[in-house]
């Protein structure tokens, strides 16, 4: 929804009987005037039923007012149009190029290598061109960011005069400020590093929107800064950008830079004694030789004797990056929890220790840009699972944990991930916590929003695609006679993304097969998040954390 003027909204919705796509999203965009019902609103944009979603929006920047419509064909492809002379004019780019605009600039981020007039721009690059010039046919680009094997662009945000780039360098944040008014030695926009990113933290900068201001029709150069880490509570800061001498200028070929100042607005409370723990980053080697990073959060006096209860988390899909983030629940219910009577394999006296928390940055995610995601798409989905298993083995080989002390947890697509750990790598884990999961990949497109994920997984109704999809469908991979880890499957009746059916079927089949220690919980509320308020979230976390702790930190660590 966006305002067209004081009495008119642009809306894309399925409410009041407006049509929906096969993915259950809005199929039309309407112009809703004050006093009208949605049924009375003028339909101004419509997409085919088998496309994913329609959007309509208004850019009200003074002097650069534009109306846009977006036809999201699938999760990764779209067509963007601008309204000209009461007709939609499609912007001529490949459907996998992400577009955005700011004042006179049109921005491009290709998801695959893009060849324009003999020049190839790598996937994950960021380009800029004059908006009107591009529409008229010129292809004069300024390259604003080019990825490398360590650095990827995660997002960007415009203040009035500057462009903020949120980057990841080996999954640690880096923020660059670009100034279109200044040129570097190559003719590009002058770039300055924002001195705000500690190692192994997630820090993102966003422009203070003009709607956040009490007055003014156009945005200024203030920005929000949101910082967090595994042992750093989330902190909100506000800063201002201005021309000036900067010690972090990236290119010596231009003078000056962008000066910045920022101050803390508010910090979240601390929920555990963070000073007792340290964050490390390690790299495992996957089956095909790919280097896979992971974060480890553990006590500073961690013993590498293979006896530490360890929780391994991952996602690996939809170009979603798993970055450092503070969690009071992990701190209190896992890191600080103590279990009496852990008995080492060598027969020595039982002892007490806390947990280790690990986040794996596997392929399918966005930590290294579109190519990292594309490497685990559809027929290559197994790469994500091989990466996760490689991290598990690396933890074991380093002496952090052992299979009987190692558990994994994931939700949604992460539920599919840990469902494959359960069925394909059961020997590596002592317990699996699987939430709001995709598990029956034969029918996922028929359930809730599943049709919209065909671009990620493939279409099981196409026989040649089902041949590879069935190799990562946990429901179909269950076998008799396998010693499976203890399993907790949880979902919500109100989940309108994946739905509860797949979780129910998986738990029922495992129990019917006589597999011991299979637990199932279905909440009525909570939707796809599994919880709709803090009380429900606390209950959900307590169940999952307690299940893992009981299974992994028992006196003898036995599986069953």
Residues belonging to the active site: 412, 528
In the block, residue with structure tokens 């317990």: 431
Close Cβ partners of 551 (under 8 Å, ≥ 6 residues apart): 407, 430, 431, 485, 486, 517, 559
Helical H segments across 271-404, by residue range: 328-330, 370-374, 382-397
Q: What is the maximum span of the chain, computed from C-alpha positions, in angstroms?
A: 82
Spatial strand order of the sheet with 66-74 comes to 53-59, 66-74, 77-84, 87-90
Helical H segments across 164-209, by residue range: none
Evaluate whether 66 touches 45 at the Cβ level (below 8 Å). no
Taking the C-alpha atoms of residue 72 and residue 76, their distance in angstroms, rounded to an integer, is 8
Residue 368: exposure state from Cβ atoms within 10 A (0-12, 13-18, ≥19): buried
Evaluate whether 469 touches 458 at the Cβ level (below 8 Å). yes
Evaluate whether 518 touches 503 at the Cβ level (below 8 Å). no
The pair of structure tokens assigned to 390 is: 């490689």
Evaluate whether 170 touches 323 at the Cβ level (below 8 Å). no
Per this entry, what is the length of the chain? 560
The pair of structure tokens assigned to 228 is: 């967090």
- Report the b/e string of 478-492 with b at 16+ CB within 10 A: beeeeebbbbbbbbb
> In 75-141, at which residue ranges do the beta strands (DSSP E only) sit?
77-84, 87-90, 97-102, 105-110, 114-116, 119-121, 126-130
Helix (H) or strand (E) holding 29: strand 28-33
Close Cβ partners of 520 (under 8 Å, ≥ 6 residues apart): 488, 489, 490, 503, 504, 507, 511
Taking the C-alpha atoms of residue 493 and residue 362, their distance in angstroms, rounded to an integer, is 30
Close Cβ partners of 286 (under 8 Å, ≥ 6 residues apart): 292, 363, 383, 386, 387, 390
Nearest Cα residue to 327 out of 292, 304, 359: 359
Taking the C-alpha atoms of residue 442 and residue 105, their distance in angstroms, rounded to an integer, is 44
């Amino acid at each position: 929804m966006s305002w067209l003027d004081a009495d008119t909204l642009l809306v894309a919705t399925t409410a009041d009987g407006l049509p929906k796509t096969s993915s259950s999203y809005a199929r039309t965009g309407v112009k809703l005037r004050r006093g009208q019902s949605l049924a009375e609103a003028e339909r101004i944009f419509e997409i085919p039923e088998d496309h994913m979603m329609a959007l309509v929006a208004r850019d009200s920047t003074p002097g650069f007012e534009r109306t846009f419509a977006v036809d999201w064909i699938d999760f990764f492809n779209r067509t963007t149009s601008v309204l000209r002379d009461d007709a939609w004019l499609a912007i001529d780019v490949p459907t996998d190029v992400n577009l955005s605009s700011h004042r006179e600039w049109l921005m491009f981020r290709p998801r695959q290598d893009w060849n324009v007039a003999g020049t190839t721009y790598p996937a994950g690059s960021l380009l800029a061109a004059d908006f009107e010039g591009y529409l008229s046919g010129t292809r004069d680009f300024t390259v604003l960011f080019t990825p490398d094997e360590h650095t990827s662009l995660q997002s960007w945000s415009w203040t009035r005069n500057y462009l903020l780039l949120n980057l990841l360098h080996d999954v640690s944040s880096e923020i660059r400020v670009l100034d279109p008014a200044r040129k570097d030695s190559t003719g590009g926009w002058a770039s300055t590093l924002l001195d705000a990113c500690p190692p192994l933290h997630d820090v993102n900068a966003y422009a203070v929107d003009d709607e956040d201001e009490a007055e003014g029709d156009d945005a200024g150069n203030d920005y929000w800064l949101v910082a967090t880490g595994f042992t750093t509570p989330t902190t909100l800061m506000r800063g201002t950008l201005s021309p000036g001498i900067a010690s972090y200028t990236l290119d010596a070929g231009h003078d000056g830079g962008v000066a910045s100042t920022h101050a803390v607005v508010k910090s979240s409370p601390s929920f555990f004694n963070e000073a007792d723990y340290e964050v490390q980053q390690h790299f495992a080697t996957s089956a095909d030789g790919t280097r896979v990073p992971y974060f480890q959060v553990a006590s500073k006096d961690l013993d590498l004797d293979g006896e530490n209860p360890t929780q391994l988390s991952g996602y690996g899909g939809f170009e979603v990056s798993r970055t450092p983030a503070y969690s009071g629940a992990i701190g209190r219910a896992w890191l600080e929890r103590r279990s009496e009577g852990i008995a080492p394999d060598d027969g020595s006296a039982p002892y007490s220790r806390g947990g280790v928390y690990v986040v794996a940055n596997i392929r399918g995610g966005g930590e290294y840009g579109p190519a990292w995601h594309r490497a685990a798409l559809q027929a290559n989905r197994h790469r994500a699972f091989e990466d996760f298993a490689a991290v598990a083995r690396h933890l074991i080989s380093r002496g952090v944990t052992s299979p009987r002390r190692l558990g994994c947890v994931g939700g949604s697509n992460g539920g599919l991930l840990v469902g494959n750990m359960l069925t394909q790598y059961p020997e590596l884990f002592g317990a699996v916590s699987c939430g709001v999961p995709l598990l029956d990949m034969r029918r996922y497109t028929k359930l809730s929003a599943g049709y919209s994920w065909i671009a990620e997984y493939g279409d099981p109704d196409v026989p040649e695609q089902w041949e590879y999809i069935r190799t990562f469908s946990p429901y179909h991979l269950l076998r008799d006679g396998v010693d499976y880890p203890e399993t907790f499957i949880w979902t919500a009746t109100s989940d309108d993304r994946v739905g509860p059916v797949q979780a129910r079927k998986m738990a029922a089949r495992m129990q019917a097969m006589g597999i011991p220690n299979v637990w199932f919980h279905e909440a009525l509320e909570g939707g796809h998040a599994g919880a709709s308020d803090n009380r429900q979230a606390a209950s959900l976390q307590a169940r999952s954390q307690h299940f893992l702790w009981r299974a992994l930190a028992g006196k003898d660590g036995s599986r069953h």
